[in-house]
């Protein structure tokens, strides 16, 4: 895709990978509109010159607030990047199912709702793209994060099916699979993490190439192992 001159809506763009994405897309000549739910980070991102819509995508009303805010706008690219994890490990404590519900909505339902809402606009553009950010854990789960892994696996399946539906249209569907990246969400999870800027850079390169998948860092190796033996990939990742 030729990125210059396009307008992109990037969810979760006030922190982490999303914050790097909007910066790097802007450097490519993209008008980046983003969304965030933390008031302090929303303000900081606005101060950096970005248009930010305050909305909590873990709730249906937050998705409606975002779609209402961009109604009638020209959108060429939708990047469903917003996501979160949730504690859900019975070995530690009884999990909170309500917290799980919010995470499931944010990670899986919200991208589907946004795609449905923006599809008419994307279909009207000469060239359009949907990017769904999943995870290496969408390929094989780890025991400590079953809800997060399930949502990302669900979004991966949705993305693959959506790509097949839209293969003869002007809308390209890409899945971006990051490894463990240095963000607030991964704080405390080891030291071998990819910088968010490098992860975002590889996403952007893949978008320019119209790649079906952006397998970043160690996810490339995981994909290779999975292609040979899905059972082996699961055995490796379940303890990750």
Task: Specify whether the CB–CB gap between 105 and 202 falls below 8 A.
Answer: no
Instruction: Give percent above pLDDT 90 in the chain.
Output: 94
pLDDT at 131: 98
pLDDT at 192: 77
Give catalytic residue positions.
148
pLDDT at 202: 97
Q: How many CA atoms does the CB half-sphere of 200 hold within 13 Å?
A: 24
Return the domain boundaries, the chain. Answer: 7-237
Whether the predicted pLDDT of 111 surpasses 90: yes
pLDDT at 120: 97
Q: What average pLDDT does range 62-84 have in this prediction?
A: 97
pLDDT at 184: 64
Q: What average pLDDT does range 178-182 have in this prediction?
A: 93
What is the per-residue pLDDT across 133-174, written as a single tens digit (0 to 9) for each? Answer: 999 999 999 999 999 999 999 999 999 999 999 999 999 999
pLDDT at 53: 98
Cite the DSSP H helix spans in the chain: 16-27, 39-47, 60-70, 97-104, 110-124, 146-165, 196-208, 219-228, 230-237
pLDDT at 171: 98
Confidence of residue 193 (pLDDT cuts 50, 70, 90): confident
What is the per-residue pLDDT across 201-230, written as a single tens digit (0 to 9) for each? Answer: 999 999 999 999 999 999 999 999 999 999
Superfamily (CATH) of domain 7-237: NAD(P)-binding Rossmann-like Domain (3.40.50.720)
Q: How far apart are CA 149 and CA 171, in angstroms?
A: 27
pTM of the predicted protein model? 0.94
Q: Which residues pair with 51 in a beta bridge?
A: 33
pLDDT at 239: 83
Q: How far apart are CA 121 and CA 237, in angstroms?
A: 39
């Amino acid at each position: 895709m030729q990125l210059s001159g396009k307008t992109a809506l990037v969810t979760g763009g006030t922190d982490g990978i999303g914050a790097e994405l909007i910066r790097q897309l802007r450097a490519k000549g993209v008008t980046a509109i983003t969304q965030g739910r933390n008031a302090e980070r929303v303000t900081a991102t606005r101060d950096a010159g970005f248009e930010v819509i305050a909305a909590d995508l873990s709730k249906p009303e937050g998705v409606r607030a975002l779609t209402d805010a961009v109604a009638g706008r020209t959108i060429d690219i939708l990047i469903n990047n917003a996501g979160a994890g949730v504690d859900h490990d019975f070995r530690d404590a009884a999990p909170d199912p309500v917290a799980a519900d919010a995470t499931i909505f944010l990670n899986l339902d919200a991208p589907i709702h946004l795609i449905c809402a923006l599809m008419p606009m994307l279909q009207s553009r000469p060239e359009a793209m949907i990017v769904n950010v999943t995870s290496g854990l969408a390929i094989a789960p780890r025991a400590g994060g079953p809800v997060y892994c399930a949502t990302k696996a669900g979004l991966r399946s949705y993305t693959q099916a959506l790509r097949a539906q839209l293969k003869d249209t002007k809308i390209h569907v890409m899945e971006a699979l990051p490894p463990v990246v240095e963000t607030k969400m991964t704080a405390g999870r080891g030291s071998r993490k990819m910088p968010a800027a490098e992860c975002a850079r590889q996403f952007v390169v893949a978008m320019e190439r119209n790649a079906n998948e952006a397998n970043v860092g160690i996810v490339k190796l995981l994909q290779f192992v999975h292609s040979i033996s899905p059972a082996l990939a699961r055995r490796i990742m379940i303890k990750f």
